[in-house]
Amino acid sequence: MKKILIVDDAAFMRMAIRTMLEKDDFEIVGEAENGLQAIKKYKECKPDVVTMDITMPEMDGLAALEVIMQYDPNAKVIMLSAMGQEVMVKDAIIRGAKTFVVKPFKEDHIIKTINKVLAL
């Protein structure tokens, strides 16, 4: 089973993603609600894929992405973005994010994205 780390400051979003992914045989190895936790959890759980929210308190998704990519250049991080965040998504791509998903998204969309990233 592929291991997923969910990073989002909104508990609702974490639950939504968890619910979607668990139906499809992914193992959620951790949840983090800000960038700092994400880094810590990444080191602990060694997930196959990270879903990373951008706007978060403490440390945002871009900063966390940067640290994670330094720690593990092969990390597979998918950004969760919303319309209006184009510039930040672009920034994330430069920093090594594999791709992004635009909120609101549907179950099949995020699962497809994760599977594609896993196949890279």
Please report, as ranges, the residues that interact with other proteins according to CB under 8 A: 9-13, 15-16, 19, 33-37, 40, 55-60, 62-63, 81-84, 86-87, 89-91, 93-94, 98-100, 102-105, 109, 113, 116-117, 120
Listing from the earlier edge strand, what are the strands of the sheet with 26-32?
Answer: 26-32, 2-7, 49-53, 77-82, 99-103
Q: For residue 100, what is the DSSP state?
A: E
| Lookup result for tokens 């609101």 | 104
Instruction: Give min distance, CB of 89 to other proteins, in A.
Output: 5
Instruction: Give min distance, CB of 13 to other proteins, in A.
Output: 6
Instruction: Give min distance, CB of 107 to other proteins, in A.
Output: 11
For residues 86 and 114, the answer to whether their CB atoms sit within 8 Å is no
State the Cα–Cα distance between residues 66 and 84, nearest whole angstrom: 21
